[in-house]
Amino acid sequence: MSRHSRLQRQVLSLYRELLRAGHGKPGAESRVRAEFRQHARLPRSDVLRIEYLYRRGRRQLQLLRSGHATAMGAFVSTRGPTEESPGAGAPGTPPDEGDGPRRPLDSMGVPKTAPDGR
């Protein structure tokens, strides 16, 4: 098996630290696992996005360790078929996918990288 790169070792270390910091906080461990699983398929060549996600994870680790965090959750869309029509949401909420042209974004709000790297 090949040796891990420095960035890979940093990401693995961050994963362990986040799991330790989230131990005992409701939803933290499962959220950490889900986030890392979601981004596990990023190509190794996408170093900019990996570094962005790494920095984001470090900030989340600081928040978990600060003592102010008692749990870790995620915002989930609860929109059902009985709710109002698209665009009638609360002020400041982003429009739905079908409300016109938008740049493709992943779940983190980061523009997706084109296959040619641009």
pLDDT digits 0-9 by tens, 49-87: 999 999 999 999 998 888 776 666 554 456 666 555 455
Q: Which of 25, 7, 29, 4 is nearest to 16 (CA)?
A: 29
Expressed as residue numbers, the domain containing 23 is 6-66
Determine, yes or no, domain membership for 38: yes
Determine, yes or no, domain membership for 78: no
Q: How many helices (H) and strands (E) does the chain have?
A: 3, 0
Per-residue pLDDT tens over the stretch 92-111: 545 554 554 554 544 555 55
* Coil/strand/helix, residue 78: coil
Percentage of residues in the chain with pLDDT exceeding 90?
Answer: 42
Q: What was the pLDDT predicted at 1?
A: 60
Q: What was the pLDDT predicted at 41?
A: 92
Q: What was the pLDDT predicted at 80?
A: 60
Determine, yes or no, domain membership for 17: yes
Q: What was the pLDDT predicted at 2?
A: 78
Determine, yes or no, domain membership for 80: no
* Coil/strand/helix, residue 111: strand
Residue-averaged pLDDT of the chain: 76
pLDDT band per the 50, 70, 90 thresholds, residue 27? confident
Determine, yes or no, domain membership for 1: no
Contact call for residues 61 and 18 (beta carbons, < 8 A): yes
Determine, yes or no, domain membership for 74: no
Determine, yes or no, domain membership for 104: no
Q: Which DSSP symbol is given to 105? A: B
Q: What was the pLDDT predicted at 4?
A: 86
Total number of domains in the chain: 1
Determine, yes or no, domain membership for 84: no
